[in-house]
Amino acid sequence: MVKMPEIVGLGLVAIMTLAFVGAFKPQVSMGMSPVFWACAVGALAIIFYRKWKGKQEKKEN
């Protein structure tokens, strides 16, 4: 259960990389695709979640 955020984050980074290099059909003509930005936000959310959980565990100990 502890490794689940890491696995999801790794998947998001892989999809984000594929979207960045253009493996998916681009949905917008200028800028990055929405898939890229969705994965980037998801990975950032996982980073903040882990940081928040770490602070909670420190307070309990």
Residue range 2-57, pLDDT digits in tens? 688 888 888 888 888 887 787 777 665 555 678 778 888 998 999 999 899 889 98
Write down the pLDDT at residue 48. 93
Which helix (H) or strand (E) segment is 55 a member of?
helix 34-60
Question: How far does CA 29 lie from the centroid of its chain?
Answer: 23
Write down the pLDDT at residue 4. 87
Per the CB < 8 A criterion, the answer to whether 33 and 27 are in contact is yes
Write down the pLDDT at residue 45. 92
